[in-house]
Amino acid sequence: MTEERIMRLEEKISYQFHNKLLLKQALTHSSYANEQKINKFGDYERLEFLGDAVLELVSSDYIYQQNPDMTEGKMTKLRSSIVCEPALAFCAREMGLEEYILLGKGEEATGGRGRDSIISDVMEAIIGAIYLDSGIDEAKSYIHRVILSDLENKQLFYDAKTILQEEVQKENRGVLHYGLVCEAGPEHAKVFAVNAMLDDRIIGKGTGHSKKAAEQKAAYEALIHKTYIIAD
């Protein structure tokens, strides 16, 4: 990875590393490390382990401080939705983080760059790398800035299918279901198009690299535009 690309990524994440090797390690998938014959600690897995723990602590503290009347069960549910794989991948894609991941040729060819599991792992690895580079305060600042900011809108996206189902059931508006419109692209990099349907009416459309992701986007569109509500 060139110095120019490192600087560009540091601008995107609004953090400058003292030890640039930590950033490179956070971006290195095991497939790339194996191809390049980097030693076994050269990929992001150990940093991901650390970042996962830091993220859980910081997000737990944030939820606890911001919601003094929330029960333990609701806090646990909220934290799970914030730090789950799709949520982290969503935040990473907002910065274009997936473009910088170092993948082996085989992983690249099978669509690894678009896989939520890999993108979310790298997000956690970067948190771990920032923690090692500068300590908990900088890691906390990054998490607040990238993951915990604009949480209300992100929460709507993360839980779109659940929230839409609840809204539909609340007023007995009809039967909510999702219909696959089409799938395109090679086997390793398919794109799915899905409609969110209320009875036989289309209320939202979405595309994604999995049916689940496409359904999530379709539900989010329906919630944003309130197309599930029929005017009297």
pLDDT-wise least confident of 64-68, 111-115, 150-154, 156-160: 150-154
- Is 52 among the catalytic positions? yes
Choose one of 133, 158, 183: the last residue of a domain. Answer: 158
Measured between alpha carbons, how far is residue 185 from residues 10, 89, 109, 150, 181 in Å?
32, 21, 13, 33, 14
Residue 40 has what pLDDT? 60
Q: 173 near 199, Cβ under 8 Å? A: no
Contact residues for 196 (Cβ-Cβ < 8 A; gap 6+): 164, 176, 178, 202, 203, 204, 205, 206, 215, 218, 219, 221, 222
Q: Which of 124, 133, 159, 215 is catalytic?
A: 124
Q: 168 near 176, Cβ under 8 Å? A: yes
Same domain, 152 and 140: yes
CA neighbor of 135 nearest in space, from 127, 144, 124, 146: 127
| Host H or E run for residue 119 | helix 116-134
Tell me what the mean pLDDT of segment 35-60 comes to: 90
Same domain, 130 and 164: no
Tell me what the mean pLDDT of segment 105-127 comes to: 92
Residue 135 has pLDDT above 60, yes or no: yes
At 45, list the tokens: 């897995």
Q: Which domain holds residue 199?
A: 160-225
Choose one of 158, 173, 201: the last residue of a domain. Answer: 158
Same domain, 114 and 184: no
Q: How far apart are CA 214 and CA 2, in angstroms?
A: 34
What CATH number did the domain enclosing 136 receive?
1.10.1520.10
Same domain, 141 and 221: no
Q: Which of 48, 52, 133, 215 is catalytic?
A: 52
- Is 121 among the catalytic positions? no
pTM (two decimals): 0.78
Q: 79 near 55, Cβ under 8 Å? A: no
> What type of residue is 97?
L
CA neighbor of 42 nearest in space, from 52, 56, 59, 28: 28
Residue 176 pairs with which residues in a beta bridge? 198
* Number of domains within the chain: 2
